[in-house]
Amino acid sequence: MSGFKIGDRVLVLDDDFGGVVAFAKAEQITILTDEGIEISYHRRELILDRSFKVSHVVRKEEPAPKKPKTRQVSRKKAAFIPAVEVDLHIHQLVTSERGMDAYDKLNLQVDTARHQIEWAIQNRIPKLVFIHGVGQGVLKEELYFLFQRYEHIKFYDADYQKYGRGATEIYIHQNP
């Protein structure tokens, strides 16, 4: 037999059940079992059940799952949510800098920032402040490059009165 048609009664070769062909495309056949479960098989795994003929197949559409209610925070309240501060000064991240060159230090700082961003996204924290210091601006540029990788993050200089020019605040959009 070359193929199955929708409505054909079929049996599964290596099992003791069958069903009705609900969808057939090339070699892939989807059957609706007697229990109402849709399962896909390769054409070679099925045989036609000639014991009786099915005249009509009705596929039931499952209702879409309801979205859980999420708590909405107004924009005014979001402005007053305190930001989590992450100090990226190297002496705050390691107990001893001995044996670390500038490359190792920079990588540790950027990796720490990446982990903190992922943690904030996972825990739905909307704001982070990265304290990077002024220096020559290498860490700040690397952080900006990192922030640009995330499409739902906005970043800007943090509060000048509190941090001076050595900090960057990010805002994570919770429902992108």
pLDDT in tens, 3-51: 778 888 888 887 777 888 888 887 888 888 877 788 888 888 888 877 6
DSSP of 17-34, one letter per residue? -EEEEEEEETTEEEEEET
Do residue 25 and residue 94 come from a single domain? no
* Domain coverage including residue 86: 75-172
Residues 113 and 143: beta-carbon distance below 8 Å: yes
pLDDT 10s digits, 121-137 = 888 888 999 999 888 88
The answer to whether residue 69 is domain-embedded is no
Do residue 94 and residue 44 come from a single domain? no
Residues 150 and 137: beta-carbon distance below 8 Å: no
What 3-state class would DSSP assign to 128? strand
Report how many domains make up the chain: 2
Do residue 82 and residue 168 come from a single domain? yes
The CATH number of the domain holding residue 96 is 3.30.1370.110
Kind of pairing between the strands at 167-172 and 127-131: antiparallel
Provide the token pair at 140.
């700040």
Phi, psi of 63 (to 5 degrees): -65, 145
How many Å from the N-terminal Cα to the C-terminal Cα in the chain?
Answer: 50
- Check: pTM over 0.95? Answer yes or no: no
